[in-house]
Structure 1
Amino acid sequence: MSGEDKARAANIFDVARLAGVSHQTVSRVVNDHPSVRPATRKRVEDAIRQLRYRPSTNARALVTRRSRTIGVITTGSPDYGPSATLQALTEASRSARYTISITSMLQADPVSMRAAVETLLSQSIEAMVLIAAHRGALDAIQGLDLGVPLVAVDSSARPGFHSVSIDQFEGARLATQHLIDLGHREIVHLAGPQHSMDATERERGWRAALSHAGLVAHAPLEGDWTPRSGYEIGLQLAASRGFTAIVGGNDQMALGAMFALKERGIRVPEDVSVIGFDDIPEAAFFTPPLTTMHQDFAGLGGDIMTRLLELLDDGDLPDAQAPHVPGLVLRHSTAPLHA
Structure 2
Amino acid sequence: MTGVSMTDAQQAEAAIGRAERRRDPSMADVARESGVSGQTVSRVANGRTNVDPETRSRVVAAMRKLGYRPNSAARALRSGRFRSIGVIMFSLSSYGNTRTLDAVASEAARSGYSLTLMPLSSATQSDVSGAFDRLREQAVDGVIILIEAHRLNGADLELPSGLPVVVLDSSAQYEYPVVDTDQAQGARLATEHLLELGHRTVHHISGPQGSYSAERRAQSWRATLEAAGAPVPDMVVGDWTSDSGYRLGLTLASDPGVTAVFSANDQMAVGLSRAMHEAGRSIPGDVSLVGFDDMADSANHFPPLTTVHQHFDRVGVEALTALIEEIEGGVSDVRALVPTELVVRASTAPPRG
TM-score by length of 2: 0.75
Q: Which has the higher contact order (CA 8 A, sep 6+)?
A: 1
Which consecutive unaligned segments of at least 5 residues does structure 2 have?
1-76
Q: Percent identity?
A: 38
Distance apart, 1:140 and its partner CA: 6.8
CA distance in 2, matches of 1:310, 1:138: 30
Which of 307, 314, 338 matches 1:299?
A: 314
Write the mapping of 1:244-283 to structure 2, written as runs, cut at 5 A: 244-283=259-298
Distance apart, 1:305 and its partner CA: 0.7
TM-score by length of 1: 0.78
**Contact 1:70/1:126 (<8 A) preserved:** yes
Partner of 1:191: 206
**Matching residue's letter, 1:168:** Q
CA distance in 2, matches of 1:220, 1:315: 44
Distance apart, 1:89 and its partner CA: 0.5
Partner of 1:163: 178
**Contact 1:156/1:201 (<8 A) preserved:** no
Which of 190, 202, 219 matches 2:234?
A: 219
CA 1:134/1:253 → structure 2, altered by over 3 Å: closer, same or farther?
farther
CA distance in 1, matches of 2:302, 2:274: 9
* Root-mean-square deviation over aligned CA pairs: 1.9
What do residues 138-180 of structure 1 show as CA deviations (whole Å, max 9, x unaligned)?
9678222131110000343223221011100110000100101
**Contact 1:131/1:154 (<8 A) preserved:** yes
What do residues 274-317 of structure 1 show as CA deviations (whole Å, max 9, x unaligned)?
00000011111111110000100011111111111121234433
**Contact 1:155/1:166 (<8 A) preserved:** no
Partner of 1:179: 194
Which of 218, 242, 248 matches 2:257?
A: 242
CA distance in 2, matches of 1:83, 1:75: 11
- 2:349 is aligned with 1:335: yes
- 2:134 is aligned with 1:119: yes
Secondary structure of the equivalent of 2:185?
Answer: helix
Partner of 2:102: 87
**Contact 2:125/2:157 (<8 A) preserved:** no
Write the mapping of 1:39-54 to structure 2, written as runs, cut at 5 A: none
Distance apart, 1:220 and its partner CA: 0.8
CA distance in 1, matches of 2:324, 2:129: 24
Secondary structure of the equivalent of 2:178?
Answer: strand
**Contact 2:149/2:170 (<8 A) preserved:** no
Which consecutive unaligned segments of at least 5 residues does structure 1 have?
1-61
Distance apart, 1:218 and its partner CA: 1.7
Q: How many residues align?
A: 277
Write the mapping of 1:55-74 to structure 2, written as runs, cut at 5 A: 65-74=80-89
Secondary structure of the equivalent of 1:165?
Answer: strand
Secondary structure of the equivalent of 2:166?
Answer: strand
Distance apart, 1:134 and its partner CA: 4.4
Which of 290, 294, 304 matches 1:289?
A: 304
